[in-house]
Chain A
Amino acid sequence: MTYEQVKQPVEVVVVFKQRKPEPFIIKWGKRYIRIQKIHLVHSERIGRDKVYYFSVSDNANAYRLSFSTETLHWHMDEVRVLS
């Protein structure tokens, strides 16, 4: 398993299921990633900002996305690839 910290801005399509937002598709550069499962959601307060982290996966890789409630920006934080 290889692990990479990327911290790059991404575009995300979000759906609301039972009033909870769930990232659905990630556009990372020219790649589109269809999220298969959300494994864990956790949050962190950084001053006034509250950042939500979504640990997700598609069929091959696991990703960690972050969403800042202050800037409303999504970032791809980490990618874990099966090698």
Chain B
Amino acid sequence: MTTRAIAWIDTLPLHQTVRDISWIVPSVQTVHILAVSVVVASSLILSLRLLAVTGTDWSPMQWSLRLKGWIWWALLALLLTGLVMILGEPERTLGNRVFQLKMLALIIAIGLSLTLFHRVRALGPGESAGGVDRAIGVALMLVWTFIVLAGRWIAYS
């Protein structure tokens, strides 16, 4: 199925456009990295807040409200710019083991984020996060670290 998808994308006029116009890929990658920085930094701040290391003037709930919208918009930007990169190089992305692992990790990261956004609602202003919330926060950070490292690695594999 992957082979089919790659072959199909190769026939698209857009595939050729992305490859022919030299500024498209670096521009799209620039936006992709900026969006990554929003998601990674937001998740980091939220995780560190759950560990009571950073931003303790606000409750986890307040941080979650502050960062949630930015995370979703950045994820949308990541999806769109990611699709352009797939259009340009379907075989290096879809057919690449590192890319496949990255997408799996992305699904896990989204799941963990949704769980956290939901769980912090149960925390009162003065209440500190429990072990489960802390563990989810740490896991989220590890998964994002993997995603970023894998993302750069795709270019070399």
Is B one of A's binding partners? no
